[in-house]
Amino acid sequence: MLDLMTDKTHNEERQGEAYAPFANDLNQYKKRFYIESYGCQMNFSDSEIVASILNKEGYGATRNLEEADLIFINTCSVREKAEQTVRKRLTEFRKLKVANKGMLVGVLGCMAERLKTKFLEEEKLVDIVVGPDAYRALPQLVSEAESGQKAINVLLSREETYADIAPIRLDSNGVTAFVSIMRGCNNMCTFCVVPFTRGRERSRDAVSIVAECRDVFERGFKEVTLLGQNVDSYYYTPENGDATAPPVNFAQLLEMVANISPELRVRFSTSHPKDITDEVLYTMAKYENICKYIHLPVQSGSTRILQLMNRTYTKEWYMAKVDRIKEIMPDCGISSDIIAGFCTEEEQDHIDTLNVMRYSKYDLSYTFAYSVRPGTLAERRFEDDVPNDVKKRRLAEIVDLQNKLSLESNQKDIGKTFKVLIESDSKRSETDWMGRSSQNKVVVFPKNNSNLKKGDYVNVLVHDCSKATLIGSICN
């Protein structure tokens, strides 16, 4: 699974971000579309593909709901809260349609596949329903909806990667960009709906990935994040079987992207502990511009619960993987996903999770209480038998521990100097810059009337911190 939304351990949930295109003249378009995205980074990346497809049909993006001809909401099924938020927004959009007769509302992504009948027929909230593998059909579906037909395509594909579509960088800061390298997932974790909403795993052509990353860099971006449900299982075999074009694994792809330029930072998300190899770790260690940060979801620290989750590793195996990462890259940052209160979880299982957190010393964790996702293996196999008050208490203990670990991690960085990529003004003050270190830690520091700009690298000496932020100053 990609980065799950946090219960505000460090970051606000990425929900409901309305997009307008980067470096795009809206005046050239007579029609407008508005899009909100919820959930994981892959959804936000998909919205950029949708924007590209709609642009070719004469639609420009807008932040103004009232002037939109098309409204799309790109949905997430990972958490129940996200689904509730989407339903609320769709109800609001339906009211807006009363005053705008020609307006069409559509649902994209994971919820579209799972709740297609309810959205179109039972609740009549939308005009268009499009699954994550059917975005190429959007022009046809829009035409069908305009003629009053039910417009729906939620077919999953074993081949679709959108490799030939150049995404429009929506609401971009001009510094960082997402690049999708694969789609779908073959890991049948019992709690996860992704294999059922996004289909089987397939890897994108390595040549097209490198070409997109090079184009991003040539347009001034300084960082790419390679996206996949499980990037470490990336494996592309050229279709023509040409012996001069051998298969490419994830470590090799990382190296290909890193070699575009030493000025281009490379990140990736997300890793499955069972698939991240020494080859990947040594490749990360070899290249300065491959960021020293790994998101390594544990989900639970209990071997018994991990088996019920079908995570295919034990607590001891996971801790050994953390050891290996630190052995090869002592300065590597590690974050995690953690579920509180999975089916049959007992107090000792919860304690095991806390102990693994202490052992791994995560810089941050994305945490949430377990909720049954319809269609998952856990729904069919297990009873959701942990009371909600127990889930909430355990989640609070996990969050509290992570806050302590995050503060301890940041305190260890006081007195150190980090190479920081400037991303934007600080949210709290326009007189400060905000950027991130290689370890993915947010660093805030005064501008001091320097000639620096977004996209520049700068060395920053850390002299203070909070649990979420390093605070420093520019050093020569």
- The pLDDT tens digits for 339-366 are 999 999 999 999 999 999 999 999 999 9
Reply yes or no on whether the pLDDT at 19 is more than 50: no
User: What pLDDT is attached to residue 23?
Assistant: 37
For residue 260, what pLDDT is reported?
A: 98
148-157, 181-190, 281-290, 300-309: the lowest-pLDDT one: 148-157
Q: At residue 203, does pLDDT exceed 80? A: yes
Mean pLDDT of 321-340: 98
pLDDT at 122: 62
pLDDT reported for residue 243: 61
pLDDT at 5 over 70: no
CA atoms within 13 A on the CB side of 473: 7
Whether 471 has a pLDDT exceeding 60, the answer reads: yes
What average pLDDT does the segment 403-429 reach? 97
- Give the gyration radius of the chain's Cα atoms: 22
Q: Residue 218 class from Cβ within 10 Å (0-12 exposed, 13-18 middle, 19+ buried)?
A: exposed
Half-sphere exposure of 452 (CA within 13 A, CB side): 27
pLDDT value of position 197: 86
Per domain, the residue ranges of the chain are 17-153, 176-411, 417-474
pLDDT at 345: 98
CA dist 271 and 181 (Å) reads: 13
261 has pLDDT over 60: yes
Q: Which CATH number fits domain 417-474: 3.40.50.1220, 2.40.50.140, 3.60.10.10, 1.10.3720.10?
A: 2.40.50.140
pLDDT at res. 8: 34
Whole-structure pTM value: 0.89
Q: Is 217 helix (H, G, I), strand (E, B) or coil?
A: helix
Lowest mean pLDDT among 69-83, 90-104, 129-143: 69-83
The reported pLDDT for the residue numbered 24 is 47
Look at residue 462 in the predicted model and tell me its pLDDT.
Answer: 98
Average of per-residue pLDDT across 465-476:
95
Q: What is the mean pLDDT of residues 207-226?
A: 96
Gap between the Cα atoms of 51 and 84, Å rounded: 25
pLDDT for the residue 20 = 42
What is the number of other CB atoms lying within 10 angstroms of the CB of residue 87? 17
| Two tokens, residue 454 | 């977004």
Mean pLDDT of the chain: 89
Residues 208 and 290: their CA atoms lie apart, in Å, by 19
Task: Give pLDDT, residue 118.
Answer: 74
Q: Tell me what the mean pLDDT of segment 69-83 comes to.
A: 82
Which pLDDT tens digit goes with each residue over 23-71? 345 566 789 999 998 878 888 889 999 999 999 999 998 888 888 999 9
pLDDT-based confidence at residue 242 (cuts at 50, 70, 90):
low
14: confidence class by pLDDT, cuts 50, 70, 90: very low
**Parallel, antiparallel or unpaired: strands 235-236 and 248-249:** antiparallel
Which residues have C-beta within 8 Å of that of residue 42, sequence separation ≥ 6?
2, 180, 227, 228, 229
Q: Note the pLDDT of residue 27.
A: 60
- pLDDT score, position 26: 52
**pLDDT-above-70 percentage for the chain:** 92
Residues contacting residue 56 through CB under 8 Å, at least 6 positions apart:
none
pLDDT given for residue 209 in this prediction = 97
Second CATH level (architecture) for the domain 17-153:
3-Layer(aba) Sandwich (3.40)
Segment 81-98 shows an average pLDDT of 83
- Confidence band for 3, pLDDT divided at 50, 70 and 90: very low
Question: CATH fold of 176-411, please?
Answer: pyruvate-formate lyase- activating enzyme (3.80.30)
